[in-house]
Amino acid sequence: MDFLDAGAVGFGTDASKIDVENPAAVQARLARLALEAEVVAVASHNWVDDPLSGETWPMHRTGFLSTYLAAMQAAHGQVLFTGSDIANGLCGFIDGAIESGMRAARDAASLLALHNS
């Protein structure tokens, strides 16, 4: 049998579901995914507990965006909302931040044009 050194990266909605500092726990989780792998080392970082980040990117549940996205994007008078977390695409990534920022900039320009007309 050939052996392959590989790294696996995982994300989830609930950090309490698995002790990512425990190789045996990670091994057990990989086995549930039917992955034949021997875990030799694990590394993790709790970004939510890190005071310099305080969060990670959003991990929305199914249906969250279709239910709430339009309301979260909606302007309230002259107050506009923007940010990766409320982007249409690649929500939670830098591309989403750019998309959402461009939309807000266009909306702000329209509001200013209206104000100045």
Ligand X SMILES: Cc1cc2nc3c(=O)[nH]c(=O)nc-3n(C[C@H](O)[C@H](O)[C@H](O)COP(=O)(O)OP(=O)(O)OC[C@H]3O[C@@H](n4cnc5c(N)ncnc54)[C@H](O)[C@@H]3O)c2cc1C
Q: Where along the sequence are the contacts to ligand X (CB under 6 A)?
A: 47, 53, 55-57, 83-84, 92-94, 97
Closer CB to ligand X, residue 29 or residue 99? 99
Min separation Cβ 46 and ligand X, Å = 10
Q: Could you tell me where the DSSP H helices lie in 1-117?
A: 23-32, 64-73, 94-116
Contacts (Cβ under 8 Å, ≥6 apart) of 37: 6, 8, 27, 30
Min separation Cβ 84 and ligand X, Å = 3
Min separation Cβ 94 and ligand X, Å = 4
Q: Are 85 and 92 in contact (CB under 8 A)?
A: yes
